[in-house]
Chains A and B, each alone.
Chain A
Amino acid sequence: MEYLVSTLTFTGITLIGVLGVYMVTGLTGLFSFGQAAFLAIGAYISAVLYKNLGLPLPLAAFVAMLVGLAAGLLVGLPTVRLRRDYISLVTFGFGEAIIAVLNNTANVTGGAMGLSGVPQRTSFSLVLASVIACLAVVISYKNSKYGRQCLALRNDELAAKSMGINVERLKLVTFLIAGVMTSFAGVLYVFYTTYVEPGAFGWVISAEWMIIVFVGGVNSLTGAVVATVLLTGLPEFLRFASEWRIAIYCIIVLLILNFRPSGIFGEHEISLDFLRRLFRKGARAA
């Protein structure tokens, strides 16, 4: 039972990270290879503030999210004006730079040895509540004017621009929201595992999140959620095959890309409206 709860908690934290990637990649069509660095920022800042400076937890979490916001600005401002490739390259460099900083400030962060001895303050119910809150944010963003602008921008940047959408601001805002959300996931992460090390935040993590979004379907939030549960939750129960886990992931993704490029869910969402329609259709058939 405890094992199940811990798996679900980790899945929940990953889900928040994936939601951030969904906003950046799924909605806006940008690729962030440094999303895990925001996780690192959230985790390290909040843990250091709480442990070394004795700040109350909510304040530490808040400051960590602010730092995430600032880092997002630093990366986002120079790159949103450019071709999309640049944002992937810069975020990639950003991720590596953050890891280098963590490794080189050993007196504060513990360097490559990691930061240990953080008290466990995250519980499953807190993670669940956070997941619901983040989902609410993403759903309302997707259905808002901004969400629709993001979709337009993803499909054709030039056309979106000529329709009067402020493409640069939109990209920046989406990137920032995702960054703050991922930093928050980092806070949850460190106060659950009680131990963090720089190696856990490499670009492979960011790439894995993107893969999850793609398996679910680029444009489907439901898909992202389902894929997160499938790809992070289930492998925990299949630990015996851990060496092959990533390889199997990759093969699945390649198959999906080649044969069903829109992902499992494509553009579909499971919403109340959708269920109502399904129900009506069923009633009519009966």
Chain B
Amino acid sequence: MTLQLLINGISLGSVYALIAVGFALIFNILKFSNFSHGGLMSVTAYIGYVASVFFGRYIKALPLFVVILLAAALGGGLLAIVVERVAFRRLRNSNSSVIYYFISSITMGILMENSVTIFASSNFYSYPSFFPTSVIRFGALSVAIPDLLTFLFSGSSLVILLVVLFRTKIGLAIRSTSFDTATAKLMGMDPNRVVAATFFASGVLGGVAGVFLGINYTLYPQLGQLIVKGFVASVIGGLGSISGALIGAVLLGVVEIFLIGLVGAGWSPVVIFVIMLVFLLLRPRGISGVIVQEKA
């Protein structure tokens, strides 16, 4: 039973990891918490739905699912680039202080969520079921197929991201820019392109996460507010650290599943908030232990 919950928790945690890493990427490079990520996930969840209606006539089951994920990922990536262009480009050029990024990202998030509300809230939508809801048995353990696929697809998106970050030239550029923007610029990297690439990567992860959220819950415009899980995961893991975000997210998923078993779904946000407070009191730099300095 416990092992069973653990597996469900890891599957949930892998979706949180998508959110948390997409969030950490932007935090790393621009040093602010990107609240527009939630709005982006709302939009991509609907993009995925539109794709499922559009392609659902030709293909079924697993191929359809892959197509939907690709559509949402691409949509999310492009949308993130637009967001960067509209909300942050001018701020970056004028070297604005962090609070302006903040307010800009919140506004952008609300705007995206509200656009979804305007165009889609009057009707109720939900994803078709892609897989037979059967289980695979490993001895005494039974793993639901959707859970397994969630884990596989989130995991592979994260692996792809890590490969891009650590094995390609653009990944190197992203990492060096997040380390020191001015020096990276001196070394001949175009900050606009690097930031756009980072936003694209973050948007792709947000897109995949949006589809999974849309499948796990129903589609509603406020879906993106689940981004709070990504935030909590990053606080636990350490703000701005990719590995920390991964660990924090999986931990959060597992804890949450256990809490739902213990205290019920209603009370679990309260307990998670208390856990977050305790974490901040005892170990504010998170698990990864990297602390981002304000200055000097």
**Residues in A lying within 8 Å of B, measured CB to CB:** 25, 29, 31, 74-75, 78-79, 81-86, 88-90, 92-94, 96-97, 99-101, 103-104, 156-158, 203-204, 207, 210-211, 214, 218, 243-244, 246-247, 250-251, 253-254, 257-259, 261
Would you list 29 pairs from A and B whose C-beta atoms are within 8 A, ordered by A residue? A29-B99, A74-B277, A78-B280, A82-B284, A83-B294, A85-B239, A86-B280, A92-B228, A93-B231, A100-B266, A100-B267, A100-B268, A158-B294, A158-B295, A203-B225, A207-B110, A210-B103, A211-B106, A211-B107, A211-B110, A214-B103, A243-B117, A243-B118, A246-B111, A250-B108, A254-B86, A257-B91, A261-B94, A261-B100
CB distance from B259 to the nearest CB of A (A): 12
Nearest CB in chain A to that of B295: its residue: A158
Docked pose: A207 CA to B104 CA in angstroms:
11
Q: Which residues of A contact B102 (CB under 8 A)?
A: 31, 88
Nearest CB in chain A to that of B27: its residue: A85
| Cross-chain contact A253 with B280 (CB below 8 angstroms) | no
- The 3 tightest CB contacts between A and B, nearest first, are A250-B111, A97-B273, A100-B269
B296 sits at the interface (CB 8 A): yes
**Contact A88 B33, CB 8 Å, known A83-B239, A100-B270, A257-B100:** yes
Q: Which residues of A contact B273 (CB under 8 A)?
A: 93-94, 96-97
Partner of A247, one of B99, B114, B235, B272: B114
Nearest CB in chain A to that of B282: its residue: A78
Tell me if A's interface is mostly helix, strand, loop or mixed.
helix
Docked pose: A113 CA to B270 CA in angstroms:
20
B87 sits at the interface (CB 8 A): yes
Q: Which residues of B contact A85 (CB under 8 A)?
A: 27, 32-33, 239
| Cross-chain contact B280 with A82 (CB below 8 angstroms) | yes
Q: Which residues of A contact B32 (CB under 8 A)?
A: 85
CB distance from A257 to the nearest CB of B (A): 5
Partner of A101, one of B96, B98, B107, B270: B270
B276 sits at the interface (CB 8 A): yes
B60 sits at the interface (CB 8 A): no
Partner of A157, one of B86, B118, B280, B294: B294
| Cross-chain contact A83 with B91 (CB below 8 angstroms) | no
Nearest CB in chain A to that of B89: its residue: A258
Q: Which residues of B contact A258 (CB under 8 A)?
A: 90-91
Partner of A86, one of B100, B117, B235: B235
Q: Which residues of B contact A94 (CB under 8 A)?
A: 273
CB distance from B68 to the nearest CB of A (A): 27
| Cross-chain contact B114 with A250 (CB below 8 angstroms) | yes
| Cross-chain contact B103 with A97 (CB below 8 angstroms) | no
B292 sits at the interface (CB 8 A): yes
Nearest CB in chain B to that of A207: its residue: B106
Nearest CB in chain B to that of A245: its residue: B114
Docked pose: A97 CA to B273 CA in angstroms:
6
Partner of B108, one of A93, A103, A157, A254: A254
B208 sits at the interface (CB 8 A): no
Q: Which residues of A contact B231 (CB under 8 A)?
A: 89, 92-93
Q: Which residues of A contact B118 (CB under 8 A)?
A: 243-244, 247
Docked pose: A261 CA to B110 CA in angstroms:
19
Q: Which residues of B contact A207 (CB under 8 A)?
A: 106, 110
| Cross-chain contact A96 with B269 (CB below 8 angstroms) | yes
Q: Which residues of B contact A244 (CB under 8 A)?
A: 118
Nearest CB in chain B to that of A25: its residue: B99
B176 sits at the interface (CB 8 A): no
Docked pose: A16 CA to B96 CA in angstroms:
29
Docked pose: A247 CA to B118 CA in angstroms:
9
Docked pose: A214 CA to B99 CA in angstroms:
10
| Cross-chain contact A204 with B272 (CB below 8 angstroms) | no
Docked pose: A211 CA to B108 CA in angstroms:
11
**Contact A247 B280, CB 8 Å, known A88-B33, A92-B231, A254-B87:** no
CB distance from A57 to the nearest CB of B (A): 29
* 1/0 contact string of B246-259 vs chain A (CB within 8 Å): 00000000000000
Q: Which residues of B contact A100 (CB under 8 A)?
A: 266-270
CB distance from A1 to the nearest CB of B (A): 32
Partner of A81, one of B103, B104, B284: B284
Docked pose: A83 CA to B294 CA in angstroms:
7
Nearest CB in chain B to that of A94: its residue: B273
Docked pose: A92 CA to B117 CA in angstroms:
22
| Cross-chain contact A79 with B280 (CB below 8 angstroms) | yes
Partner of B107, one of A83, A93, A257: A257
